[in-house]
Amino acid sequence: MTFTSFSPIQIQQTNRTQQQPLVLKQGQVFHGTIKKLYPDQMAEVQIGQTKFFAKLETPLKAGDSHFFQVTGMNPQAELKVVSGPIQQSQTVAQQVNQLLEMMNLPKTAEMQQLVAYFLRNQLPLSKEQLIQAENWLNNLPANTSKQEGLQAIQKMVEMKMPFTNEIFKGFLFGSKTTGMSNAILNFTILVMENQTIPSSVKSQLMQQLQTISKPFSLETGGVVLSKAIQTLVTDANSIQKTQLVNFLKAAEIFPKNATIENWISESFQQIKTLANYSNQSSASQLIHNVVNAKPNEMSQMVKEVESWISNQNQLQSTQKIELQHLLSRFETLPLNKGTVEWFAQQLHKQLIIAFSENTMPIFSKEQNSITIKDQLLSLLKPEMINTSSPLLNLVKIMNESSQPVLQNMLLQAEAEVQKAIDSKAIEQALKMILKGLGMSYEASFNSKVQDFQEAVQSLKPQLLTIINDSQTSQALKDAADNIVSRLNGMQLLSGENGHQHQLIMQIPLHFLGKQTEATIQWNGRMKENGKIDANYARILFYLNMDAIKETVVDMQVQNRIITLHLYNDHPQLEQLAEPLKEMLKTGLLEKNYHLSGIFIKPFEKTVSRLVSANTIEKSKEAKSQNGVDIRI
């Protein structure tokens, strides 16, 4: 089976008191029952599970059900009866026909389906909303069922959202559990084929798409750069070196006039003359300070170099010893402009070689730290530090190249990156994907300037620019709108309900050479300080994996005890999972979580109910049924 959409999950059965109150609007029609009558034509009316007080235009009998229309809200609801008492023997079809005639609406198949759906779910509706909803059902996107359209419309009514195309598409696409990867791939192909997009705009857009679709491209580019530099400083044949120099020039890492003989000296000249540095701890900043130091500053400068080398954790001990020998040799020379420049050049060259040899760790363990690949980039072209474009360009050019030297180097780099992937790397990749998509774009409006500038470069604002550009082709607009609607839907479906908090994420994934995607639906509660309570949660993962295909993982967390339900039709999944259970249990214990049990079930009678029903069955509060967050 293929799961297409989900419904909101709840963590406890006791959430009814936290549901939002019913809000009626003038002109709406609903099916209601008179529960009690009061003086002055006041009555208690019930819609579904909701009761409220309203003023009736005509006297009615308690216990009868009618179709009512809201004629005013001043301040309580004022209701007009628009049908006689509805008999229990009446079928839904008869009620639908009665309501369509009363509201003077066309009896099309879509309109009948809409009204029947609203009646069954006891939702208030208006004539204008029904006409708009019928139009949406008649123009649904490809691969979208009418049931999905009806559920999207229901969410709009329940969450009191305006009936606009943008919000409808947000709920429609945001509820899907598959399709994000294909939507991004389709958009990428259209962008590549489009000749009207300015080259600078296309370049920035393609760079962001690459960051999202291949989150380990930066790490791959860093390993490629290290391997290329190592080859250039060895005795490799000149043809191979020429290819690599041209390759690094095409990626704009080497200057255009760089050759096999002068690329190091050209990089040194850039460091020597550049005035502004974005990171004071970079190796290029150190070289710049040395070569520009005045004679009376050299004694202090030598101490700073010695301290920098000693504190540099990204250098091996043997490399530090070699650099200390260089420093000691310099101290024996007379201090003049020539010897200072010689020392700076030698220090520059040795650091290039050292950082090109130190490819590990491939993934930075320290947040906001300057990485090995950043250090190497700064020594080659100092203004590139803390920028991702050069390394992404390396990977892009290599993928497009047919030269065996470059292809082999890329394959080796990808193998090293894949071997180094761990849980921290996955976490880093997921953060990069969500940031690249622009999930927090609107929130950045109130952030500091740097955060806002980064958010503007994410995918979502670039897509909005394309959609609003009159020169954009309709096919490209539709492809961009598909992705934006999914991003909007995640935001619309995520939110707070009292202490409960729900989060929806559709994440395209490209790990270990496999293209897939994951939809994560998290429901938990917040502490009084506004932080997530890690002791209680329920999480659904909708995964479509290459080997075991469609999979749903349902995890429940109660007081840090975990119960894990896996839904999949693979016949040997139980046997495949058995060796991993102890590893999972041990890993959870390290985080102070306890595994209660793992239950593997087939799709047929379980997942179809989970993902297709209007509401997912609420979990029972039982001490033996608990769950915890899981690493993908």
pLDDT band for position 611 (50/70/90)?
A: very low
The per-residue pLDDT for range 487-544, each reduced to its tens digit, is 999 888 887 766 678 888 888 877 656 677 788 888 888 887 777 888 999 998 888 7
What mean pLDDT comes out for the span 136-165?
90
What pLDDT score does 72 carry? 83
Average pLDDT, the chain: 82
CATH architecture, domain defined by 25-81: Beta Barrel (2.40)
CA distance 332 to 92: 99
Tokens 């034509």 correspond to 41
Query: From the CB of residue 503, how many other CB atoms can be counted at a distance below 10 Å?
Result: 15
pLDDT band for position 618 (50/70/90)?
A: very low
What pLDDT score does 446 carry? 66
C-alpha distance from residue 267 to each of 282, 289, 357, 550 (Å): 15, 15, 18, 51
CA distance 408 to 401: 11
**How do beta strands 594-601 and 561-567 pair?**
parallel
What pLDDT score does 181 carry? 87
For residue 322, what are the contacts with CB-CB under 8 A and spacing of at least 6?
350
The per-residue pLDDT for range 394-404, each reduced to its tens digit, is 888 888 888 88
What mean pLDDT comes out for the span 564-568?
91
Whether 382 and 292 have beta carbons less than 8 Å apart is answered as no
pLDDT band for position 66 (50/70/90)?
A: confident
What pLDDT score does 447 carry? 60
Measure CA of the first residue to CA of the last residue in the chain; give whole Å. Answer: 22
> Has residue 164 got a pLDDT over 60?
yes
Q: In terms of pLDDT, which residue wins out, 71 or 14?
A: 71
Query: Does a cis peptide bond (omega within 30 degrees of 0) precede residue 75?
Result: yes
Question: What φ, ψ does residue 517 adopt, rounded to 5°?
Answer: -160, 160
pTM of the model: 0.76
What pLDDT score does 278 carry? 53
pLDDT band for position 464 (50/70/90)?
A: very high
What pLDDT score does 189 carry? 93
Counting every residue written for the chain, the total comes to 632
CA distance 421 to 371: 16
Q: Which strand (E) or helix (H) includes residue 283?
A: helix 283-291
pLDDT band for position 317 (50/70/90)?
A: very high
- CA-nearest of 367, 366, 384, 389 to 277 is 384
What mean pLDDT comes out for the span 91-99?
85
pLDDT band for position 628 (50/70/90)?
A: very low
CA atoms within 13 A on the CB side of 438: 24
The per-residue pLDDT for range 8-53, each reduced to its tens digit, is 544 333 333 334 556 778 888 888 888 888 888 888 888 877 888 8
For residue 228, what are the contacts with CB-CB under 8 A and spacing of at least 6?
244, 247, 248, 409
What pLDDT score does 135 carry? 94
Q: Is 391 helix (H, G, I), strand (E, B) or coil?
A: helix
Tokens found for residue 83: 């049908």
CA distance 79 to 72: 7
Whether 76 and 55 have beta carbons less than 8 Å apart is answered as yes
**How do beta strands 500-511 and 77-81 pair?**
unpaired
Whether 156 and 167 have beta carbons less than 8 Å apart is answered as yes
Q: Which amino acid makes up residue 168?
A: F
Q: Which amino acid makes up residue 293?
A: A
Q: In terms of pLDDT, which residue wins out, 289 or 611?
A: 289
What percentage of the chain has pLDDT greater than the value 90? 28
Q: Strands of 495-497's sheet, edge to edge?
A: 495-497, 500-511, 514-526, 532-545, 549-558, 561-567, 594-601
The DSSP 8-state label assigned to residue 278 in this structure reads S
The per-residue pLDDT for range 262-289, each reduced to its tens digit, is 999 999 998 888 755 556 678 888 998 8
For residue 438, what are the contacts with CB-CB under 8 A and spacing of at least 6?
455, 458, 459, 460, 461, 487
